Structure 1
Amino acid sequence: MSMRVFSKATPVTRAYIRYATTESSSQKATQAISNATNAVKSQGLTNALCNLYKTVTNPLPAKVKAPLNKAVGIFEPVLYFTEVAFHLGKQVVVRQNFKLPNKVDFAAAETELFKALEFFKVKNIKNVKDIPTEKWKRGALKTFELSTLFVLGEIVGRGNLIGYKH
């Protein structure tokens, strides 16, 4: 062969081919979607997504897979517990016969809120010494109740009475 064939003067172009879509490819896509839907129904969302992730990342090299696996390892428990909370909430809604609030419920809540805010108002007070002892006692009691609830929430959140578990 002569060098003239491989010279830079004659660029090699690639013919672009347009592939026509066929019914079989659209049917395959529909079948894949229905398979994914059935997998979610049978396995749960978390397991279905994990299996899909494994299928997609299987051909990737180890250098690419390692950071992806770390990222997925962080989000997998979050996804799982979100799914558990959703199903638990669904059961609570069904068993307790909860309904969405309507305008009347919002109006009632608004009036109760304004009544609660009225409780904390002190009228025509110009000095701290003018506040009646009844108001001081009520305020101290409410402050004690709220701080006790806060401390109890901290204890429950830590899972221990004093300090955190190691």
Structure 2
Amino acid sequence: MSALDWRRLVAVLASQDQRTVFAHLLLGQDPGPALAEMKPKTRGKVRAALLASGVVEDDDGALTVRDGAFKEMLAASAPARREGIERFRNGRRIVQFPASPAERRELLEWVASEALEPGEQLDERGVNERLGEFHPDTALVRRYLVDHDLLRRSPDGSVYVRDAAN
């Protein structure tokens, strides 16, 4: 079932005739009497639309609601689960720092590679401007980068350098 099949189900619900037959099926009732009241051409269209929705199937001439169809439809339209450091970012913004040291290091390596060129020297203000794109607490990110040896600070604290090796 494709992610767009929900549209076919909504189309079924938009039609009074289709909605009536579908309601009978959902309630476990025989839709025969409701179908019998329709013109043959309408009956064929209702049947075709219900089958095209992917939620209803033909079981030896009888229409039935397909087991698991709604779960499949929801699963197909669910957003993809984010993996790795993507879980801690929204675009370029860090939304949360990982508790895992390995994941935190990976996230900080990404920040360092995105914010600074290897060997580039900046003063604290320049580093803060770059890091502000990733997180509002630039002092925290700067401290993490220094603590993880991804950014070196001069002894007097006036210059920051991203090592060429990182």
Larger Rg: 1
Scaled by the length of structure 2, the TM-score of the pair is 0.26
Structure with more contact order per residue of length (Cα contacts < 8 Å, sep ≥ 6)? 2
Q: Which has the higher strand share?
A: 2
Larger proportion of helix: 1
TM-score where L is the length of structure 1: 0.26
